[in-house]
């Protein structure tokens, strides 16, 4: 019953808990943000991810509902997007850097604070799984570039072309008009960050991306940086980021969100505070998007973004739920 109350509060007004994956539960801009402070029973298992990746949360749920661990769920969940060539900012089919190379960034973190990361990885479809191998098979946390790729082959990953016909054509078009400049595109928002809690109440997170389209060769964003694109503390909760990575790194964004929750803020309040800190330093800028997604130990979730259409997807025992969080930042 408590759980129902939470869900009702979370999606009040025009929103509805929906079974059909194509329906979106929208929050009105005027409504109170999603805060589940009333729930006393923890919500678990649960999977949440940035944007509307229903297949990813469904996969994570499949793992969680068969008593799988949060770590397995989060890895297998984001792998769905890495393999999806129609998602042009994650994994295979991701847009290349300005030299035409697809380079991937990803990280993963478990309940014990173990973490692994790969940056500037080429030719491998599932960077998150390589990141997990870094975490489990090496004494290190981050492997980069050629070394990361070599390590992946040693671990049995196959070499694969990541540029698709579609992204190659787009790249050729971009070269004609680009003046070789990186696109800071506010619509470039398909990075997946996912947070899961399993039936034991343990939390894990993962984040994976091809980064900013047509970035300078060698550029690495926030997504594979522990504390920036992702952070998990099993005592408190987890957070992940989407948007312009440089701004998230500057504020150590995901770590900040988790620390704010530790101090007593709800996931929603923490995400809002994180975005506001970034915006304070970027007054007047309209050309970028920053979003945070967070979950606390009780399974309460929140999200906030400098983008009116920010969505995150949640999967609980009741099935799919989409939340379009129109808590768009406005200067106070």
Among all residues, which ones are annotated catalytic?
A: 191
Distance from chain centroid for Cα 275: 15
Q: Tell whether residue 189 is a contact of ligand SD4 (CB under 6 A).
A: yes
Strands (E), 81-161: 104-109, 115-121, 142-144
Strands (E), 72-190: 104-109, 115-121, 142-144
Measured from the CB atom, the residue of 94 and 302 that comes closer to ligand SD4 is: 94
Task: Please identify which residue in 11, 69, 89, 123 interacts with ligand SD4, judged by CB under 6 A.
Answer: 89
Task: Please identify which residue in 152, 162, 212, 225 interacts with ligand SD4, judged by CB under 6 A.
Answer: 212
Count of residues in contact with ligand SD4, rule CB under 6 A: 14
Strands ordered across the beta sheet of 237-243: 230-233, 237-243, 290-296, 301-305
From the CB of 289, what's the least distance to ligand SD4, in Å? 7
Measured from the CB atom, the residue of 36 and 245 that comes closer to ligand SD4 is: 245
Burial label for 183, CB within 10 Å (0-12, 13-18, 19+), is middle
The residue assigned the tokens 């890895």 is 75
**Segment contacting ligand SD4 (CB under 6 A): 187-195, 264-272, 303-311, 319-327?**
187-195
Measured from the CB atom, the residue of 10 and 223 that comes closer to ligand SD4 is: 223
Task: Please identify which residue in 103, 196, 242, 268 interacts with ligand SD4, judged by CB under 6 A.
Answer: 242
As a whole number of angstroms, the distance between CA 290 and CA 275 comes to 7
- Which positions from 30 to 69 touch ligand SD4 by CB under 6 A, shown as an x/- string? ----------------------------------------
Task: Please identify which residue in 205, 211, 227, 302 interacts with ligand SD4, judged by CB under 6 A.
Answer: 211
DSSP 158: P
- CB proximity list for 301: less than 8 A, separation 6 or greater: 10, 34, 36, 46, 48, 267, 268, 293, 294, 295, 312, 314, 323
Q: Tell whether residue 188 is a contact of ligand SD4 (CB under 6 A).
A: yes
Q: Among positive and negative, which fits the CA dihedral 306, 310, 314, 318?
A: positive
Q: Tell whether residue 221 is a contact of ligand SD4 (CB under 6 A).
A: yes
- Terminus-to-terminus CA distance in the chain, angstroms? 37
Q: Tell whether residue 223 is a contact of ligand SD4 (CB under 6 A).
A: yes
What tokens does 81 get?
Answer: 């997007």
As a whole number of angstroms, the distance between CA 73 and CA 200 comes to 13
From the CB of 252, what's the least distance to ligand SD4, in Å? 14
From the CB of 202, what's the least distance to ligand SD4, in Å? 26
Task: Please identify which residue in 57, 69, 191, 240 interacts with ligand SD4, judged by CB under 6 A.
Answer: 191
Task: Please identify which residue in 11, 129, 209, 268 interacts with ligand SD4, judged by CB under 6 A.
Answer: 209
**Segment contacting ligand SD4 (CB under 6 A): 4-12, 149-157, 165-173, 205-213?**
205-213
DSSP 67: T
What tokens does 106 get?
Answer: 């990803």
Task: Tell me which residues touch ligand SD4 (CB under 6 A).
Answer: 89, 188-189, 191, 209, 211-212, 221-223, 242-245
């Amino acid at each position: 019953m408590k759980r129902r109350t939470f869900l009702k509060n979370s999606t009040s007004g025009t929103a509805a808990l929906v079974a059909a994956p194509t329906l979106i539960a929208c929050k009105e801009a005027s409504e109170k943000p999603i805060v589940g402070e009333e729930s006393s029973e923890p919500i678990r298992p649960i999977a949440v991810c940035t944007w509307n990746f229903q297949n990813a949360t469904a996969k994570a749920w499949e793992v969680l509902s068969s008593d799988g661990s949060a770590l397995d769920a989060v890895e297998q969940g984001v792998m769905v997007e890495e393999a999806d060539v129609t998602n042009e900012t994650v994994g295979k089919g991701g847009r290349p850097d300005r030299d035409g190379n697809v380079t991937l960034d990803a990280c993963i973190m478990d309940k014990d604070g173990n973490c692994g990361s790969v940056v500037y990885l080429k030719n491998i479809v599932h960077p998150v799984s390589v990141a997990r191998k870094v975490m489990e098979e090496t004494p290190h946390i981050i492997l980069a570039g050629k070394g990361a790729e070599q390590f992946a082959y040693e671990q049995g990953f196959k070499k694969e072309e990541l540029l698709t016909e579609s992204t190659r054509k787009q790249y050729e078009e971009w070269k004609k008009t680009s003046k070789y400049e990186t696109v800071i595109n506010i619509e470039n928002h398909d990075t997946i960050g996912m947070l899961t809690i399993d039936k034991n109440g343990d939390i894990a997170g993962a984040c994976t991306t091809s980064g900013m389209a047509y970035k300078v060769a060698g550029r690495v964003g926030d997504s594979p940086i522990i504390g920036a694109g992702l952070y998990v503390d099993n005592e408190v909760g987890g957070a992940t980021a989407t948007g312009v990575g440089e701004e998230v790194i500057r504020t150590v964004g995901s770590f900040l969100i988790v620390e704010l929750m530790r101090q007593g803020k709800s996931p929603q309040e923490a995400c809002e505070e994180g975005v506001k800190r970034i915006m304070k330093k970027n007054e007047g800028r309209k050309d970028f998007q920053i979003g945070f997604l967070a979950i606390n130990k009780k399974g309460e979730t929140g999200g906030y973004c400098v983008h009116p259409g920010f969505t995150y997807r949640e999967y609980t025992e009741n099935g799919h739920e989409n939340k379009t969080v129109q808590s768009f930042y406005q200067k106070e």
